[in-house]
Structure 1
């Protein structure tokens, strides 16, 4: 699964790395301890006057479907299982038509000790610190308690797709789930608003996912990351066990 991650890149860096555009007023808060319900950057593509535009937006992490009575639904919907995403009421509409990428610099996962009494956090990242983009979904939700025209009437939210861990290797010892990574070509296919067969897109992403994840490194880090109030670059510094 993916319940905490790092995103401390500036807007300009994301625009360049993702070959996207962003509004001049867009602001991102650097975070080394992103938790569900936080505002996070996502990348998506839209058709505007017949032309495809790749854009960066800020969304609440935890998908709120259009039919929800309140935004609290998103608290439990920060991950979507790839095996069931097409059928689950919370995700199926977004899966068909509102796919996005969620850029991260790495994510945290906790590994149980042999006696099962404690958990050691690890920071999972690329060897060179390159950006990782996870397959995600986004959704717009209209707050029924707000009047038409209210700036806060519409909420943009997102979720990250997950898959089963590989049968062997270091990642397999960490957790039985991991987020679905996309390379540059895979991201372009996933975001394409003209692509209608979401199932085929997901299958293609999953076919390559274990190979991409095999290059990731796992560093043990301080237990301080377990408290969302702790937030700084020291959280990703490797420690000696």
Structure 2
């Protein structure tokens, strides 16, 4: 799964990396500071495509991490919807509408996972691409209308997102990283290549099942280039932030 991650790139870098534009009306007065400890319900950048005058336009938006379905009575449900299992996303009530036409990419630099030790001990690890490359996780987004806020007022609409997950690739001779990932968790956030991201974001695509198959088919190749490093336990506290959180340390066990 993915319960904490790092997204420390500037807005300008994201726009360049994803060849995206700002929706200035949505992004107006929204700050997006770098974070080395993104937690559920935090504001995060997402990349999506919209049809404008018949053409697909790629845009950068800011969404709350934890998808709030349009039918939810309040946004609190989103804290339990940070991830969507790729195997069941087509059937789950919270995600089955979003998968049809509200697909996005969730930029990240890497993510955290914890290894269980003796007693209550847990060792955090930072999983990230080698050579400082960036990630784009397959995601979904949804709009929720707040009935307590008048039409046209700030806060009337809440944009939220969830990250798709897949089975951790099984250990094999092709890459030792899979063995390390398997020790940490049986799920990984679903990464995309430039090609699969283009297909995933396309608002004209009408076969979500084929898109899920497409992005999940590439998880083994993408994850083979990840690096797994033990980091300090400070990341376990959401109030801690800063680049020191991803500095490698000696594992406790």
> Which of 81, 98, 105 does residue 101 from structure 1 map onto?
105
Pairing 1:142-221 to 2, within 5 Å after superposition: 142-168=145-171, 169-221=179-231
State yes or no: 1:129 paired with 2:132.
yes
Structure 2: which 5+ runs fail to align? 172-178
> Which of 71, 93, 96 does residue 92 from structure 1 map onto?
96
| Contact kept? 1:11, 1:27, Cα under 8 Å | no
Q: What whole-Å deviation, never above 9, does each CA across 1:114-148 have from its counterpart, x for those lacking one?
A: x3531100000011111100000000000011111
Whole-angstrom distance in 1 between the partners of 2:119 and 2:97: 39
Query: Under a length normalisation based on structure 2, what TM-score does the superposition of the two structures give?
Result: 0.93
> Which of 45, 51, 57 does residue 41 from structure 1 map onto?
45
State yes or no: 1:66 paired with 2:76.
no
Structure 1 position 27, deviation (Å): 3.0
Whole-angstrom distance in 1 between the partners of 2:237 and 2:206: 41
| Contact kept? 1:135, 1:161, Cα under 8 Å | yes
Whole-angstrom distance in 1 between the partners of 2:202 and 2:31: 25
Structure 1 position 42, deviation (Å): 0.1
Structure 1: which 5+ runs fail to align? none
> Which of 98, 109, 116 does residue 112 from structure 1 map onto?
116
Please state whether the residue corresponding to 1:203 is helix, strand or coil: helix
Structure 1 position 109, deviation (Å): 0.3
Structure 1 position 207, deviation (Å): 0.8
| Contact kept? 1:82, 1:161, Cα under 8 Å | yes
Please state whether the residue corresponding to 1:92 is helix, strand or coil: coil
Query: Under a length normalisation based on structure 1, what TM-score does the superposition of the two structures give?
Result: 0.97
| Contact kept? 1:8, 1:29, Cα under 8 Å | yes
Q: Which residue of 2 aligns with 1:7?
A: 7
C-alpha RMSD over aligned residues: 1.0
State yes or no: 1:50 paired with 2:60.
no
| Contact kept? 1:103, 1:133, Cα under 8 Å | yes
* Greater displacement, 210-219 / 102-111: 210-219
Structure 1 position 23, deviation (Å): 4.2
Count of residue pairs brought into register by the alignment: 240
| Contact kept? 1:85, 1:91, Cα under 8 Å | yes
